[in-house]
Amino acid sequence: MKKLLLLSISALFILACHSGSKEVTTTQVKLQSVTLGLMPTMDGFPFIVAHRQGIYDSLGLEVNLVRFNSANDRDAALQAGRIDGMITDYPSAVLLQLHHPGLAVIMENNGYFCFISSKKSGVNQPEQLKKKSIAISRGTVIEYATDLFCTKSGIKTEEINKPEIAQIPLRLNMLEYGQIEASFLPDPFATIAMNDGNISLISTRELNIHLTGTAFTEAALQEKKAEIISLIQGYNLGVKYIQTHSSQEVSTLLAEEFRISENLARLILLPSYTPASRPNIQEINNTLKWLKEKNRIPAHYQGENLIDTTFTVPYKIPSYPPNTSQ
């Protein structure tokens, strides 16, 4: 009788152990939250769409989007540990990584910038920019693109004034009031400026430079790999949403996010969004060359580990529709 009782208890114990083991293997691991810094540009729009349309909720990922109006404020937040990652540009990423070696860019973004001349400046051609004030954000894609445009236009750096105006809304206001003659602006600010009669002379698409990407801290890359994978998955679904929904639906989201009218939102020429891919190494090399020429980084610095290829597919050369900017 005792043997039978012991066998029964043993059988129940084994069954309970198997049941417990099954429950453990089927329990889904809860993802940590991810905090991503955004600039008021079109680069982050797929992230915004995924956030607003509940895509990240369906993936079980809590995403906190933090908005910044200047690269300086964004970079300071990253260094202070207030954000896990950010949409940045390659010059900014290199300068940060130089002092914070763990930072890495995981994917390219698809935004672009328009070179806008103030309607009060009288500048309609590149050669008229000599001795004019062209606002920049120092050590960013804005300064890089300005230097490249001036070089291609036969203008030496010393022939123009380059006041630093890091805050994008302030840069637009100063351009509108004629306090600066020109500057590179992202959308929606570029479209706002053009809709008010200011002129776009060129964009970074025509200059064939693609220098924006998403970067993360070393801590986030080590501790939040699954979360970053889900973040990119949501980004790709955001791209798909933009590509498969009506322009009216997309314009409504733009208007809500940037607090502009839907009429103005419909004027914005969206980038040709593609699924997440790795940064173009040639663009990184061009960035390093430019920064060395300006003595911003040591000659021996090669950007080691600046790109993390863990999360994305190889870079593909983007193709754009004909320029139909105003």
Domain ranges of the chain: 34-111+210-294, 113-207
pLDDT in tens, 256-309: 999 999 999 999 999 999 999 999 999 999 999 999 999 999 999 998 899 999
Domain 113-207 has CATH 3.40.50.11540: no
Q: What is the DSSP string of 302-316?
A: --TT-B--SSSBPP-
C-alpha span between 269 and 261 (Å, rounded): 15
Amino acid 99: pLDDT: 83
Amino acid 233: pLDDT: 97
> Of the candidates 12, 33, 10, 42, which has an alpha carbon nearest to the alpha carbon of residue 265?
42
Domain 34-111+210-294 has CATH 3.30.70.1140: no
Which regions of the chain are under pLDDT 50? 1-27, 320, 322-326
> Of the candidates 291, 302, 292, which has an alpha carbon nearest to the alpha carbon of residue 138?
291
Amino acid 267: pLDDT: 97
Amino acid 28: pLDDT: 63
User: Is the pTM higher than 0.85?
Assistant: yes
Amino acid 320: pLDDT: 46
Amino acid 238: pLDDT: 98
Amino acid 243: pLDDT: 97
Amino acid 146: pLDDT: 97
Residues 6+ apart with CB under 8 A from 239: 46, 273, 274, 275
> Of the candidates 170, 168, 117, which has an alpha carbon nearest to the alpha carbon of residue 140?
168
Per the DSSP assignment, residues forming a β-bridge with 117 are 182, 199
Amino acid 270: pLDDT: 96
C-alpha span between 179 and 249 (Å, rounded): 36
* Cβ pair 273, 320 in contact under 8 A: no
Amino acid 16: pLDDT: 39
Same fold, 34-111+210-294 and 113-207: yes
Q: What six digits make up the tokens of 14?
A: 């084994």
* Cβ pair 176, 193 in contact under 8 A: yes
Amino acid 264: pLDDT: 97
Strands 104-108 and 85-89: unpaired
Angle at 98 between CA 93 and CA 91, to 5 degrees: 30
Residues 6+ apart with CB under 8 A from 53: 238, 241
C-alpha span between 64 and 61 (Å, rounded): 10
Residues 6+ apart with CB under 8 A from 54: none
> Of the candidates 148, 143, 185, which has an alpha carbon nearest to the alpha carbon of residue 39?
185
